[in-house]
Amino acid sequence: MEEVIKIEGGHRLHGTVRISGSKNSTVALIPACVLGNAPITIYGVPNISDVKSLMELLRELNVYVEQIDEETLYIDPTKMNNIPMVSNAVSKLRASYYFMGALLGKFGHAEIKMPGGCYLGPRPIDLHLKGFEALGASITYENGCYILHADELIGNRIFLDISSVGATINIMMAAVYAKGRTVIENAAREPEIIDIATLLNKMGAKIHGMGTSTLVIDGVGELKTSGCNHEIIPDRIEAATYIIMAAAMADDMIIENVIPQHLEAILMKLEEIGINMKVGPDFVEIFGRNQELKPTEILTKPYPGFATDAQQPFTALLTQAAGQSVVTETIYTERFKHCYELNKMGADIDVRTPSGFVNGKTKLSGTSVVATDLRCGAALVVAGLMAEGITEIHDVYHIDRGYDNLDNKLRSLGAVFWREKVE
């Protein structure tokens, strides 16, 4: 038996939805907590399956972790053991690789199985490994495991060939205890990196330059032994997804608990195609459109450019724009599997990697589709809301990896949305 999501399309959305804490922050913040020697309380934790997998990994390392309430985690690493991380939980999520930087930084040794996650084409971790080597670590690969070791980590100047979020965070975590100064050039500038560095600084690290392309980490002998608290930033990709859903189907909808500055590239594109909106200090209100949507061109870029994670749901919306839109993917060039699923629903998208040519406006009809990855799932939910009839989405575990309480949030907005077990 498999669980599927079913959506009856054509129902207008209205009301208010509150955005949860950032998935991409959370999956790095939890491993970052093990660098410390004192309990940490994290607020605004989204209720997603990746968090459950990370809690499992913490317990394997003998880190005490307790869910205080729906959005609060208490993590105490004082009795932690550094053991090889080879369980199935490692394979369930890509973010397990953050334990490489955290364990190498704290213990000078880490053994970890190749991490899992959504397949979006080649996603090598060579930048992470080069960074660890620059700090003085030796790396071997045996029986499907990376073994990282350093008797002592020494600060160094590291240039990233690509401004990778994962590599920036991982090297930053390893460098917290390194002797001397580490400078990461061409560092990623995403808000999530600022969030993780903010927590590490609260713990006693010395990190400067967050939000710029030059990150400076002055190594410390030890982090504080007294605990601290941290609230996670709102999830800008969840916010973008609901804003796109509102642009597709809302009469009047408010998306609250957002940082509009994090969404500028997406909001500008929505205005360009003809969406009416009001942007407040911590909310975005979308008003039902009263004219045809215009086609556009999208080029995904590292932050502050158009987020690759928002490309897939936005493509679903562009099926309703009159004319040809061009979506070019520069981050994960294979991120077009959603297009084949959308075509099953009646879209007319011609994929010529690294671009997709979206020919609109097309009528979408509900059918059986597969969420091949997390954001493909989001695109199919957007399409299902717009389609005539019932859309049945398979492999919904991908969606549950990144969207907190999707069912109730959508139903509260007026969507007809449910789950069923099918053979």
The yes-or-no answer on residue 145 being catalytic is no
For residues 221 and 321, membership in a common domain is answered with no
Q: What is the mean pLDDT of the chain?
A: 95
Q: Are 306 and 300 in contact (CB under 8 A)?
A: yes
Region label for 294, one of left (φ > 0), alpha (ψ between -120 and 50) or beta (otherwise): beta
CATH number at residue 251: 3.65.10.10
For residues 213 and 300, membership in a common domain is answered with no
Q: Could you tell me which residues are annotated as the binding site for phosphoenolpyruvate?
A: 23-24
- Tell me the per-residue pLDDT of 252-288, one tens digit each, with 9 for 90 and over: 999 999 999 999 999 999 999 999 999 999 999 999 8
Q: Is residue 8 over pLDDT 90?
A: yes
- Tell me the per-residue pLDDT of 326-370, one tens digit each, with 9 for 90 and over: 999 999 888 999 999 999 999 999 999 999 999 999 999 999 999
Query: What's the residue count for the chain?
Result: 423
For residues 211 and 316, membership in a common domain is answered with no
Tell me which of 33, 118, 228, 376 is the catalytic residue. 118
**Which pTM was predicted?**
0.94
- What is the per-residue pLDDT for 120? 54
For residues 121 and 241, membership in a common domain is answered with no
Q: Is residue 115 over pLDDT 80?
A: no
**Count of CB atoms situated within 10 Å of the CB of 366:** 21
Q: Could you tell me which residues are annotated as the binding site for UDP-N-acetyl-alpha-D-glucosamine?
A: 94, 123-127, 309, 331
Name the domain count of the chain: 2
- What is the per-residue pLDDT for 157? 98
Integer Cα distance of 362 and 81 in angstroms: 56
Query: Which of 196, 231, 266 is the C-terminal boundary of a domain?
Result: 231
For residues 249 and 272, membership in a common domain is answered with yes
For residues 119 and 263, membership in a common domain is answered with no
Instruction: Taking residues 369-393, report their average pLDDT.
Output: 97
Of 286, 403, 412, 379, whose CA–CA distance to 19 is shortest? Answer: 403
- Tell me the per-residue pLDDT of 79-95, one tens digit each, with 9 for 90 and over: 999 999 998 888 878 88
For residues 66 and 190, membership in a common domain is answered with yes
Q: Is residue 123 over pLDDT 60?
A: no
State the helix-helix crossing angle for 308-318 and 264-273, rounded to 10 degrees.
10
For residues 272 and 391, membership in a common domain is answered with yes
Contacts (Cβ under 8 Å, ≥6 apart) of 268:
none
Q: Could you tell me which residues are annotated as the binding site?
A: 23-24, 94, 123-127, 309, 331
Integer Cα distance of 170 and 93 in angstroms: 15
For residues 225 and 250, membership in a common domain is answered with no
Instruction: Taking residues 397-401, report their average pLDDT.
Output: 93
For residues 162 and 300, membership in a common domain is answered with no
How is the beta sheet containing 214-218 ordered, strand by strand? 157-159, 181-185, 214-218, 206-208
**Count of CB atoms situated within 10 Å of the CB of 284:** 24
- Tell me the per-residue pLDDT of 284-315, one tens digit each, with 9 for 90 and over: 999 987 779 999 999 999 999 999 999 999 99
Query: Which of 192, 212, 231 is the C-terminal boundary of a domain?
Result: 231
For residues 310 and 283, membership in a common domain is answered with yes
Segments forming the whole domain that contains residue 357? 2-20+234-422
Instruction: Taking residues 185-189, report their average pLDDT.
Output: 97
Query: Which of 183, 215, 231 is the C-terminal boundary of a domain?
Result: 231
- What is the per-residue pLDDT for 144? 84
- Tell me the per-residue pLDDT of 39-49, one tens digit each, with 9 for 90 and over: 999 999 999 98
For residues 411 and 375, membership in a common domain is answered with yes
